[in-house]
Chain A
Amino acid sequence: MRFDDYMSRTHYDAVVVGGGAAGSLIAKRLGDQGWRVLVLEAGTGEVSTWHGHETALDTYYTTINKTENSPYLFNPAAPSPSENLATPSPETANRAEEAPIDYYVQKGELPYASSYLRSLGGSMLHWQGATPRMVPEDFHTCSKFDRGRDWPLDLTDPKKYYDNLEKYYEWAEYEIGVAGDAAEQRDLGTITNKQYEYPMHKIPLSHMDHVLGNKLNGASAKLSTSKDDRATAPAGELRLRSVPQGRNSEPNLTYRADYHPRTGYRPAEAVGLPNYGERCNGNSNCIPICPVQAKYTPLKTQAKFNKDLVTVVTRAVVTRVLFGANSHPGEQREPRPGDGARQDQQVVQYNQRAVGVEYKMYDDPRSAAAVTHAVTGDVIILAAHAVENAKLLLASGARNCNDNGNGPIGRHLMDHPVLVTWALMPPQHNMGAYRGPMSSSSIDGFRRGGPIPGNNKNCRSGNWRELHAPFRIEPDNWGWSLPLKSPGTDVQGLIQRGRTHWDPPDVFRGPVLGTALRDILAYSLPRQIQLSFSMEQPAEWTNRVTLDDRYRDNLGNHRPVIYYNLSEYVREGFVRAREVSHQIFERLGTHSLLEIPTPHGIPFDHNGQRFYYWGGSHAAGTHIMGHNPDKSVVDQWQRCYYHPNLFVVGSGSMPTMGTSNPSLTLAALALRTAEVIHDDLVRLRRPITVSGCPAVGEQGVKS
């Protein structure tokens, strides 16, 4: 469609803010159902062509600091965390350069260490690709363990669970294209449908998984706080399962589904280069960019858009949601800092229905010149990422329950704080590290919770999950690349100082060069093993995203101001996870190198122990879903409580994340919401029937 065409079309059935996973899935679904949809993306769309993709790959190759966002060009008009802004706040200025905190204004005890990406395709351009479903306990953590929040969906019996959530999980697994082993997941309790199979067969386990499986399957580890209390601590099994993954594998030829036109699944090809990139071929680079696009990205969904009905506009930064005529004239409130430009007005009024959005279009990302436009829609869908959604709601003056800025919008910010442990395997175990997808297996024994042996007076439920956070353990196939930036730092240490990672930091032996250098690397790199413990973080009122008019980006939009901390519950989880890690390494015949300080994680102290955490890049909770409008932003359909045609979608709606990577769940929720939006639009278009007034035909008959 030509530019002036879409500029002249200023009303749409649905306006979607954000071209990432949730927004793309909803836009595709609505377009398929015949609705005219506009997708406004703040970032650029460069990577949606094959040429742009190749350029991003070259950018990645030539970046010294290969972070999550490194392949994607810095965009000052729509900045993403981990990019450098001109005015970093003083409290973050002294952090390591790669910590993704420059766009954030960090005000909390601890920095929020997770990044995201504002570009067409969103953060799922650089997701890992893991698509575990949440385990059953994750939906009821409040009622069962008195921690976090319960989901407002009715999941009380298996049938309701299937109708309200599981069928959307299945649908999301189809849309994403998930490879997995359904039997293993059924055994874990995340699949209840006995007939269900994944669209593709599981990604082969890595050689490392095989070695670990031989040593760990059938064994268990204790959730102890130290070596001494292992005897009395609750246990969890160490069995390895394959992880369902959103990347192309061998298609399942017997796959069937209602929304799938034929038997057998056909993997999705690369965007912009037909018939290319169908299977994962082991580039070992899921984060940040899959060179062959075997991994799902929302661009693949966008390629299937109904082009006549769905319009995608990039470089359009939505600045606020516009609300219509005031349907409750009595309601008024005082302005507050988040109101931004409208502070000069004496009174800002409440509004009910969202009528459209205001957005700024820029041409060159480096320029501060942008033209402001507005577009109207019957339904407005915010799908801009958990942090950006909260920002937009606050900047638009959306109703935030009890008025003094103390409502739930932006609160309950969650993440998966990650504990990383690493070790060097003994000579007989060449683990074949640095090959395959980032992770192909998972240890699920500590995800669901379990009984505590004996009586614990501090624990009402008798389940250890009441006392400390559960975690999912992921053996990583890429050596020590996450905590230590191996193998680059291994090489640098040896060449510059003759120091290996397991030496004390001040060792200096002089340069190691030549065959010695080569042999040391040849021995140690394939024997590097790393475990990531993704910790559940329950929703906390005080972990929040908010606005401060002093902190703005290039276009004058707010930067997120973040208050973040790890609660006692999460910190206790770190203690148990470290002990479990020791037990795993003991069983593998090696020992943890955890005590070696690393400059890359973020330190905190707990009970006299020093820990380091990494961000999981899994933001959630900022527009939390719940029963109570005073404590929640959206209802179970991700519909704003106070703005019935405003939907806020994405992981920000999730009341808990459990220990699962949120992408699959947020996709399932988005598809579920698309159904309601469709119903709403149908109802909106239906001719009004006025009761008590006979139809014309009937009158004719009578007269």
Chain B
Amino acid sequence: MTTIESPSGGAGTPQTGQVDTGSTIAERDRQRLERFVELSSVLTGFAVFDLWGTGVAEDYLKTACCQVGQHLVDVLITRISIDGWKTVLTSPPKKDSPVKTPQPLFHLPDREVPTLVVAAEVASAESVRSAVEKALGKVIETNPEGMGRIAQLLADADDKSAVRRAVAELLVATVCAVTEMWYLGHWPHLAPEAYATLTRTWDALNPPEMGKPVSSTGFPAPPRLDPASPHPAPPNRSFVISPQSYVESLVWKTFPGGHPMGAKPPGFGSWAEPTTDPWQKAAEQKQAGGQQKGQALR
């Protein structure tokens, strides 16, 4: 059983990569959705409560499943632990980290600066990819049924590591796409390389039986009417998931007083009121402190 660093808590979360075959489809869907929201919480920096509050989590999970195939989403939400994602996104880089940030990312004017820059370094493609690759390697070794098809691909390929790397890159692209979906309410274009990998692995990851309602995951890939016909990946285009998804875009919740343009209006004259944030307060305190010092000196 157990191959993967499983999340510490999480009652009802599958402990293994395999979906619990004993529970009903509805129950499995619920578990999967919970894991998806937990993962999204780490990716977006918003609490699970905020994400459930949008009411669009289920739509997003379905969209992701339809766009990149459910097995990839499964890898993201059940085979890599939430703690693993947290580590990837927040821990400082090791001294021998291959990541070299070309220039400081962003100067936030307070003590948070190093953390943010560090996080940015850690979250760079290289480190996420290596973490994913590691997890993926384990999956492939221990789970011949589901991810075994990728293993098959790897076995066929001349250069195993290149394919493995390409799939890992696709996973990174998926993680970014899911984050962008939460922030802006739309499914984005995937990078051309990632999409190329997706089309190459689509048939292996989404075999004909996946379209049937008894699919092991509950979120069937787009159904295939004729199992013999070629089964292309969905087109690489960006689209807004629903009117509600635009209204619930997280980007508007990142700053105080924010609201989506054209919805959730804050009321007549509200725009005249100041809003504030920690950086402004810190800057004002610093200024006030400086003035007091100046007065004392005089």
B185 to chain A, nearest CB (A): 8
Number of interface residues of A (CB under 8 A): 64
Q: Are B275 and A432 in contact (CB under 8 A)?
A: yes
A280→B263 CA distance, assembly (Å): 12
**Residue pair A526, B271 in contact (C-beta under 8 Å):** no
* A281, A434, A500 pick with most chain B CB within 10 angstroms: A434
Asked whether, in the complex, the Cβ of B240 is within 8 Å of the Cβ of A520, the reply is no
Digitize B253-297: 1 where CB-to-A-CB distance is under 8 Å, 0 elsewhere. Answer: 011111101110111111111111101101110010000000000
Please name all residues of chain B whose beta carbon is closer than 8 Å to the beta carbon of A432 when the two chains form the complex: 257, 271, 273-275
Residues in A with CB closer than 8 Å to B258 are 434-435, 525-526
* Residues of B with C-beta under 8 A to A517: 44-45, 179, 183
Residue A462, interface by CB 8 Å: no
* B276 to chain A: closest residue by CB: A430
> Do B271 and A206 touch (CB < 8 A)?
yes
Contact of A427 with B109 at beta-carbon distance under 8 Å, contacts A61-B262, A62-B246, A512-B123 already known: yes
**Which residues of the other chain, A, contact B102 by a CB distance below 8 angstroms?**
507, 509
| CB-contact partner of B268 in A58, A279, A488, under 8 A | A279
Contacting pair A514 B119 (CB below 8 A) = yes
Complex Cα distance, B259 from A282, in Å, reads 9
C-alpha spacing A291/B175, complex, angstroms = 33
| Contacts A61-B262, A512-B123; A521 near B251 (Cβ below 8 A) | yes
Contacts of B272 in A (CB 8 A): 204-207, 210, 436
Chain B residues in 8 Å Cβ range of A488: 184, 251
Q: Is A495 an interface residue (CB 8 A)?
A: yes
The yes or no answer to B204 lying at the interface (CB within 8 A) is no
Q: Contact check, B279 vs A513: say whether CB atoms are below 8 A apart.
A: no
- Asked if B277 contacts A526 (CB within 8 A), the reply is yes
A308: chain B residues at CB < 8 Å are none
Report the minimum CB–CB distance from A511 to chain B (whole Å). 5
CB distance B116 to A519 under 8 Å? yes
Using an 8 Å CB-CB cutoff, how does the interface string of A482-519 with B read, 1 for contact, 0 for none? Answer: 00000110111001101010000001011111111111
Is the Cβ of B265 less than 8 Å from the Cβ of A283?
A: yes
Give the residue name and chain of the B residue nearest to A491 (CB): B183
Q: Which of A425-453 contact B (CB under 8 A)?
A: 426-430, 432, 434-437, 440
Residue contact A526 to B255, C-beta cutoff 8 Å: yes
Asked whether A696 is an interface residue with its Cβ less than 8 Å from the other chain, the reply is no
Contact residues, B130-172 vs A (CB, 8 A): 172
- Is the CB–CB distance between A522 and B254 below 8 Å? yes
Query: Do residues A477 and B246 form an inter-chain contact, with CB atoms below 8 A?
Result: no
Q: Which residues of A contact B283 (CB under 8 A)?
A: 426-428
Q: In the complex, which residues of chain A have a beta carbon less than 8 angstroms from the beta carbon of B45? A: 513-519
Task: State whether the Cβ of B238 lies closer than 8 Å to any Cβ in chain A.
Answer: yes
Report the bound CA distance from A436 to B172 in whole Å.
Answer: 37
- In the complex, what's the smallest C-beta–C-beta distance from B121 to chain A, in angstroms? 8
Pairwise interchain contact A62-B240, C-beta atoms closer than 8 A? yes
Known: A488-B184, A495-B179, A507-B102. A62 touches B257 (CB 8 A): no
Q: Which residues on the B side are within 8 Å of A430 (C-beta)?
A: 256, 274-277, 279-280
* CB of A50 closer than 8 Å to a CB of B: no
Residues of B within 8 A of A498 (CB): 105, 120, 123-124
A519 contacts across to B, CB distance below 8 A: 45, 108, 112, 116
Given the known A-B contacts A62-B242, A435-B257, A514-B44, are A427 and B280 also in contact in the complex, defined by CB atoms under 8 Å? yes
Interface residue? A75 (CB, 8 A): no
Judge if A8 is at the interface, Cβ distance under 8 Å. Answer: no
Chain B's closest residue to A503 (CB) is: B103
Contact between B262 and A289, CB atoms less than 8 A apart? yes
Chain A residues with Cβ below 8 Å from B128 are: 510-511
B215 part of interface (Cβ distance < 8 Å): no
Judge if B25 is at the interface, Cβ distance under 8 Å: no
Q: Are A509 and B120 in contact (CB under 8 A)?
A: yes
Residue of A249, A481, A492, A517 most packed against chain B (CB within 10 A): A517
Judging by beta carbons under 8 Å apart, are A281 and B266 in contact? yes
Decide: A514 and B265 in contact? CB cutoff 8 A.
Answer: no
- A511 and B172 contact, Cβ closer than 8 Å, known pairs A61-B247, A204-B272, A492-B188: yes
Is A436's CB under 8 angstroms from B42's CB?
A: no
Q: Any chain A CB within 8 A of the CB of B180?
A: yes
- Chain A: minimal CB distance from B56 (Å): 12
Q: How far is the CB of A344 from chain B (nearest CB, A)?
A: 46
CB of A400, distance to nearest CB on chain B (Å): 43
- Chain B residues with CB under 8 Å of A434's CB are 252, 255, 257-259, 261
Q: Does B239 contact A (CB under 8 A)?
A: yes
Q: Would A61 and B240 count as touching, CB distance under 8 A? A: yes
Cα separation A102 to B203 with both chains bound (whole Å): 39
Shortest distance between the CB of A27 and any CB in chain B (Å): 30
**Is A458 interfacial (CB 8 A cutoff)?**
no
Whole-angstrom distance from the CB of A50 to the nearest CB of chain B?
16
Q: Which residue of A lies closest to B177 (CB)?
A: A495
Write out the residue numbers on chain B whose beta carbons fall within 8 Å of the beta carbon of A491. Answer: 180, 183-184, 251
Query: Is A285 on the interface with B (CB-CB < 8 A)?
Result: yes
B105 and A512 within 8 A (CB): yes
Contact call B239/A64, Cβ cutoff below 8 A: yes
Q: Are B101 and A509 in contact (CB under 8 A)?
A: yes
Decide if B268 touches A515 in the complex (CB within 8 Å).
no
Question: Is there contact, CB below 8 Å, between A292 and B265?
Answer: yes
Inter-chain CA distance A206–B257, complex, in Å, is 13
Tell me if A276 counts as interface (CB < 8 A to partner B).
Answer: no
In the complex with contacts A210-B272, A517-B45, A526-B255, A428-B240 CB distance below 8 A: no
Within 8 Å by CB of B89, from A64, A210, A437, A513, lies A513
Q: A510 near B124 (CB under 8 angstroms)?
A: yes
Closest residue on chain B to residue A498 by CB atoms:
B120
| List of A residues within 8 angstroms of B284 by Cβ | 428
Partner of A522, one of B191, B255, B287: B255
The answer to the question of A57 belonging to the interface, with a C-beta cut-off of 8 Å to chain B, is: yes
A512 to B116, CA, bound (A): 9
B106 contacts A by Cβ under 8 Å: yes
**Chain A neighbourhood of B126, CB < 8 A:** 510
Chain A residues with CB under 8 A of B89: 513-516
**Inside 8 A of A61's CB, which chain B residues have their CB?**
240, 243-244, 246-247, 262-263
Chain B: minimal CB distance from A215 (Å): 15
Q: Does B19 contact A (CB under 8 A)?
A: no
- Considering the complex, give the chain A residue whose CB is closest to the CB of B270: A282
Q: A282-B266, A510-B123 are in contact. Are A436 and B271 (CB under 8 A)?
A: yes
1/0 per position for A271-298, CB-CB distance to B under 8 A?
Answer: 0000000011111110001011000000
Q: Do the beta carbons of A207 and B43 come within 8 Å of each other? A: no
In the complex, residue of chain A having the shortest beta-carbon distance to the beta carbon of B43? A513
CB pair A281 B262 closer than 8 Å:
no
Q: Once bound together, how far apart are the Cα atoms of A429 and B281, in whole Å? A: 10
Known: A204-B269, A282-B267. A509 touches B105 (CB 8 A): yes
Distance in angstroms between the alpha carbons of A514 and B183 in the assembled complex:
11
Does A60 sit within 8 A of B, measured CB to CB? yes
CB contacts under 8 Å to B, within A452-481, are 477-478, 481
Contact between chains at A495 and B176 (CB < 8 Å): yes
Q: List 11 A-B contacts (CB under 8 A).
A: A204-B272, A205-B272, A291-B265, A435-B266, A435-B275, A495-B176, A510-B124, A516-B123, A518-B45, A525-B258, A526-B255
- Residues of A with Cβ closer than 8 Å to B? 57-58, 60-64, 204-207, 210, 249, 279-285, 289, 291-292, 426-430, 432, 434-437, 440, 477-478, 481, 487-488, 490-492, 495-496, 498, 500, 507, 509-523, 525-526
User: Contact residues of B with A, CB < 8 Å?
Assistant: 42-46, 89-90, 99, 101-103, 105-106, 108-110, 112, 115-116, 119-121, 123-128, 172, 175-176, 179-180, 183-184, 186, 188, 191, 238-240, 242-244, 246-247, 251-252, 254-259, 261-263, 265-277, 279-280, 282-284, 287
Besides A509-B101, A519-B108, A519-B112, 18 other A-B contacts (C-beta < 8 A): A61-B247, A282-B259, A284-B262, A285-B261, A430-B280, A435-B257, A488-B251, A496-B176, A496-B188, A507-B102, A509-B105, A511-B123, A511-B172, A511-B176, A515-B90, A517-B45, A523-B277, A526-B256
Give the 9 A-B residue pairs with the shortest CB-CB distance, closest first.
A510-B124, A436-B271, A285-B262, A518-B45, A515-B45, A428-B283, A516-B119, A61-B243, A510-B125
